[in-house]
Structure 1
């Protein structure tokens, strides 16, 4: 189940007795809970009918006791248990009795909705408690928004700030903000903060332009790596080295920078191969697991590289990695020499 299906449960007054919400997009968790509160909880009695429990500090008895108390002046009581270690492969740090909890989950009062919330990307599906939740309720994965859904969300936040922005500029904003960077944990909350910064910068102006985004959003590591590879493809060695040194000054680990450069070059190689075989942008997006607007930029970038050169560059990257790991050269000098060398292959 995804978050939209759970929102339908709330809207249609079909809330299950128990849910497990997990994933890296806690903005969606808060949005779900906000909808539950609006639907079922009277503000005057919120402290009695909306109970929050720290899963790292609780016990099975405390969870059961919270659920057993009937709602006051309301049809529903909501119990939220956050970060219960029982759902992961991590060693448990409290006195939880999994069997006792599992037995109770099948006997929950119809007036109680128990929400387990886990800020983790993975859960241990072998656990008995997870199987019991599937039998009596739902598992909801809180994934990052993608493509049209993400654009719609971004548009709505700008609109909330009484600003207008085109879909093209939204895609540019998302790329600048680095929401899909594989190496970071940016969330919708981070995007919302970036949008608020841009809107504050605009003042009374209503239309968001590309220049506003460039000035208002700090470039992500992935974005800087993209610019660095662009400079390499255009034989602008000085510019490529300048970008590299700026990233170091920003305290980005050199090992991570090198890893991201190689990742970008591999994506270029795959994009070029799929493009030459006639695959559409959408097909390439699915195959290399990046958004379509990133594929569009990759296709533009591949024009500066031949397949032979990309293959040679990746082989040189392996040589650099071996050179560093065997202690023949330190990271900074090795990566600088690598950038200089591959910028002169054409």
Structure 2
């Protein structure tokens, strides 16, 4: 199993295999690497004829994919067949998904040299890891894990995006910009576009970044839980919608809300045991300013209400994995239930 950087290095060196399995949380980053391969292999003139795409969610049989792979490319040495959102690569194993996976597994060694088959699977949340199915395929072909990028690698990538827009950004401003955003390239590109439009022809300043990105993810979750504690239904729903608009997935928001209630429960329990603020900070191993926020926020809840909120979060976590109901609606119901607990 290789990471996205290793994949990119191989493509730039012209080392190209005829099958790739991608997995990871950031779909935009995966699609970005697939586009890199497309540009390396296919000419612009015949891209539409030699690039075939299938929606993994709607596939009932792998036969159409196999037929596309077996068809010769038009005026090119190779063609590319992409199966996007191949959810049959996840742990869930109902009859249809198991069949699709088995058909892919059996076909991998038979892919003709005139075709490159790409299948990618997007993780549902931050806690998901590559499934046993993906590890089994790693023994037969190239599996690329789309881990988040951080530090200098992220800063370099972001700086290049600014450069493509003919916009320069200083090192201090670049570090600040990267620190205020989740490492999701789709969100980052949108925020770069907004920042460039905001400053127009002048240089980017720290004040501009703060003006557009004045809140971190943790602050948003504190706000959401505060509104739950104050029983402000409309405002809490609006806060949820704002988080989802920024690109956070319902599963990720649920994870953060659940984590927040767990921390609040620990803090509330410690306060009732008459522990000092310094002792609580040492117990939960978080910075003092975060501890202060948690202590203040815990005053809005009783221990029993925090315990009930955690039970509700666990219930909806299980429901989201098995229900076809819209995730946004499920999150709204979760928020309403925690307020009325």
Alignment match, 1:6: 7
| Structure-2 separation of matches of 1:154 and 1:226 | 28
SS at match of 1:101: helix
Unaligned runs of 5+ in 2: 242-252, 268-276, 312-336
Rg larger in structure: 1
Find 2:199's aligned residue among 190, 199, 202. Answer: 202
CA contact (8 A) 1:41 1:76 kept: yes
Distance 1:318 1:210, change over 3 A: farther
SS at match of 1:139: strand
Distance 1:172 1:272, change over 3 A: farther
CA contact (8 A) 1:86 1:92 kept: no
Alignment match, 2:144: 140
User: How many residues end up aligned between the 2 structures?
Assistant: 285
Distance 1:49 1:319, change over 3 A: same
Displacement of 1:114: 0.6
| Structure-2 separation of matches of 1:27 and 1:320 | 39
Displacement of 1:214: 2.0
SS at match of 1:145: coil
Unaligned runs of 5+ in 1: 181-186, 230-240, 275-287, 289-297, 335-346
Structure 1, residues 281-311: CA drift from partner, whole Å, max 9, x if none? xxxxxxx9xxxxxxxxx75737979xxx97x
Displacement of 1:225: 5.4
Structure 1, residues 201-256: CA drift from partner, whole Å, max 9, x if none? 101102x1121112223635423457999xxxxxxxxxxx99x9996484349x97
SS at match of 1:14: coil
Displacement of 1:124: 6.2
| Structure-1 separation of matches of 2:290 and 2:100 | 56
Alignment match, 1:189: 186
TM-score under structure 2 length normalisation: 0.66
Please show how residues 85-234 of structure 1 align to structure 2 within 5 Å: 85-88=87-90, 89-91=92-94, 93=96, 96=99, 98-121=101-124, 122=128, 125-127=131-133, 131=136, 133-177=137-181, 179=182, 187-206=184-203, 208-217=204-213, 219-224=215-220
CA contact (8 A) 2:108 2:141 kept: no
Alignment match, 1:344: none
| Structure-1 separation of matches of 2:14 and 2:176 | 39
Displacement of 1:4: 1.3
